[in-house]
Amino acid sequence: MTICDLALTMTPGLGVKGTVHLLECFGSADEIFAATLEEIVARAALREDVARRIVRREGMRAAEREAEYCRRHDIRMVASTDEEYPPLLRLTSDYPHVLYVRGNVGALKLRTLSMVGTREISPSGHTLCDRLVGELACRIPDLCIVSGLAYGVDAACHRAALACGARTVAVVANALPDVTPAPHRQLAEQIVAEGGAIVSELHSQTRQNGAFFLARNRIVAAMSQGLVVVESPAAGGSLATAAMADGYDRTVMALPGRATDMVSRGTNNLIRNHKARLVMTADDIIEDMMWDTSATAAPAGNAGSGITLSAAEATLLACFTEGEIDRDRLADASGLAPGELSQLLMELEMKGAVRVLPGRRYEKV
């Protein structure tokens, strides 16, 4: 993470997708700022006025102010080119280049599961959150529950994780160290104290206008290989998050409810329309996520000393026959479905067997 990473995200006229495109073309923010106007326009096909702002380093002063702000408030900045960045989030086409984090940055790379739902949670929904998260925590030692810190299901899932000793990450739609909604500040502090993290893509100089919740939801959807919708009415933000997760090739799961329950209309429709897998227990989630809960795994002869891989991971690693390989060629070589490929790549990166490079490319370590 360098000051150039911050300056890139704070350059006027350069949005999230433009930043991702530039990183794919140049590899790093430092390389982008080292390029000439002509190189930026030619290689990235960027508008000349935006390229000129980069060359003039118009975002640098704001970046320096932001770096000082983060130091004062104990906020960690993580760039997409950093090892600590969530590996699955980096695979999307609209990932935020810089994340602002309070708490344990290492929680972002645990075995994450996103859980969302209605703000008008029912008593049954509370029970389901407690039971599912508790059962998962018993089976998955490195479990981390990701949600949005909102009222209802989000808060219930965070609290369920804290109650059973699992890590949890809250993605908020405001600049840190504040949280939204404000009454959940104490919950946020407990999340940080218990080894979890509060995450935002918004810097302190962002003009708050209430329009960032949908963008926040894409991060919740992208950070995990699977998303569980606990309860949802026929329309709502959790259904939009489920659609985003599906667009990212994530495994979307939903808990069924009674046909007469308004808070289950959305989840029942997801299942009925084959937009989500029906799950009722932690075992269902583990099966759909294809998580290996066995104590032993097959040794990986080429992955380096001390690393053990499952049979599926070792098979995928054997597809790395050259120095660097992109995601599309890995999919062709392995024959894996997009969701399974993403999960196995994340597992290999967490075990130190592969390294993620800019431009959705991978390298065997």
- The string of pLDDT tens digits covering residues 54-77 is 999 999 999 999 999 999 999 999
pLDDT computed for residue 324 by the predictor: 79
Half-sphere exposure of 4 (CA within 13 A, CB side): 15
In the chain, pLDDT over 70 holds for what percent of residues?
94
Alpha-carbon span 173 to 63, nearest angstrom: 20
Contact 342, 88 (CB under 8 A): yes
- Helix or strand holding residue 363 (H, E): strand 361-364
pLDDT of residue 331: 83
pLDDT at 306 over 80: no
Q: How confident is the model at residue 358 (pLDDT cuts 50, 70, 90)?
A: low
If one looks up domain 311-364 in CATH, what number appears? 1.10.10.10
Cα–Cα distance for residue pair 268/276, rounded to 1 Å: 9
- What DSSP character marks residue 295? S
Q: Which pair of tokens denotes residue 297? A: 């795994």
Structure pTM?
Answer: 0.81
pLDDT mean across residues, the chain: 90
Tell which CATH classification among 1.20.950, 1.10.150, 1.10.1760, 3.30.420 matches the domain 3-72.
Answer: 1.10.150
pLDDT of 174 higher than 80: yes
What is the pLDDT, as a whole number, of residue 305?
38
* Distance (Å, whole) CA 39 – CA 337: 37
Give residue limits of the domains in the chain. 3-72, 103-289, 311-364
User: Partners of 146 in the beta sheet?
Assistant: 114, 169
> Quick check: 129 and 164 in contact, CB under 8 A?
no
**Is the per-residue pLDDT at 342 higher than 70?**
yes
For 73-126, how does the pLDDT look when each residue is reduced to its tens digit (9 = 90+)?
999 999 999 999 999 999 999 999 999 999 999 999 999 999 999 999 999 999
Structure confidence by residue, pLDDT tens digits, 252-302: 999 999 999 999 999 999 999 999 999 999 999 999 999 987 643 333 333
Task: Name the CATH code of domain 103-289 (choices 3.90.380.10, 1.10.540.10, 3.40.50.450, 3.30.470.30).
Answer: 3.40.50.450
